[in-house]
Amino acid sequence: MLEVKNVFKSYKKPDFFTMKRNMVLHDVSFSMDENECLGIIGESGSGKSTLSRLILGIEAPDRGEVLINRKSVKNRRERKGIVSAVFQDYTSSINPSATVHDTILESMQISKTKFNRQEAIELLNKVGLSEDYLYRHPHELSGGEVQRVCIARAIASKPMLIVLDEAISSLDASIQVTILDLLKNLKKEYNLSYLFITHDIQAAAYICDKLIIFKDGKIVEKIKTEDIKNVKEDYSKQLFNAVLAV
């Protein structure tokens, strides 16, 4: 379903006198199937978020291509309603002037022309929020509640793939587990595919079927989650041993 083929991405260095560029992603290739949850694990600054922006079609790669259902994500119409996202920074994730109702209905509008208030309420209930939240603004919600609304919004457009870019990282530990369980249930119910981008190995291991270990814009290793203790590369061993030691 998702194919990332030989993707390169660089940015110009923020120096007026140089034309040099920082290589952020270097020949990244991988694919994922429908109903799969693929985890991308890496340290901060390893290029995970850049990769997510390329997959979401927000930015274009320098070289290579990103395909969903064999269609390039570069084309806005091709990716409309097929891919959705939940971001880390919940404070800016929702349009500050829109209510929860407007936020969800706007997302429903992406995939179909007819939508109603009742469907929005049902979606809210699915993510564990009551009808009372429908006409609230983002500033009237807690971090966990905003992230639930973001998940409801992501599902509302009935996408095939949801990119979860550090979606639980800024939440309290207790809420993280609740949100992970919620994501697991929704995946089953809606036959969703997740691309779970995180630096949290435990969370990735909890929710993902497969893992990709990322370092300095390159893929170090691809493994199945059950093989987490049998990684081959030194960097992967270092990463997992550090977590296991804790």
Partner 1 sequence: MYKYILKRLLFLLPMMIIVSFIAFYLIDASSSSPGRIILEAQGVPEITQTLIEETNHKYGFDEPFVVRYFLWMKKAAQLDFGKSFVSNENVSTLILTSFFYTLKLTIATAVTIILFSVSLSVVCVFLKNKFVDKIIRSGMFFLAATPPYLIGIILIWLFSVKFNSLPTSGVGDFSHYILPVLANTIGYASFFFRMLRNSMLENIHENYVYFYRSSGVSEKKIIKHIIKNSLQTAVTAFSMAIPALIAGTAVIENIFAWPGIGRLCVAAIFNRDIPIIQAYVLLIGLFYCVFNILADIINAWINPKLREA
Rounded to a whole number of angstroms, the minimum distance from the CB of residue 152 to partner 1 is 13
Query: What residue spans of the chain are helical by DSSP H?
Result: 48-55, 76-79, 100-111, 117-126, 143-156, 173-190, 201-207, 234-245
Rounded to a whole number of angstroms, the minimum distance from the CB of residue 169 to partner 1 is 13
Rounded to a whole number of angstroms, the minimum distance from the CB of residue 48 to partner 1 is 15
Closest of 74, 71, 70 to residue 62, by C-alpha: 74
Which residue ranges make up the site for partner 1 (CB under 8 A)? 53, 56-58, 76-85, 87, 89, 92-97, 106-107, 110, 137, 139, 153, 157, 159, 163
Smaller CB distance to partner 1: residue 40 or 56? 56
Smaller CB distance to partner 1: residue 7 or 56? 56
Residue with tokens 């119409």: 77
Smaller CB distance to partner 1: residue 2 or 223? 2
Cα separation, 101 vs 108, in Å, equals: 11
Sign of CA dihedral 156, 42, 89, 66: negative
CA dist 214 to 46, 162, 236, Å? Answer: 7, 19, 9
Six token digits for residue 236: 């992967």
Smaller CB distance to partner 1: residue 119 or 216? 119
Residue with tokens 């997740």: 194
Smaller CB distance to partner 1: residue 53 or 237? 53
Rounded to a whole number of angstroms, the minimum distance from the CB of residue 138 to partner 1 is 9
Rounded to a whole number of angstroms, the minimum distance from the CB of residue 80 to partner 1 is 3
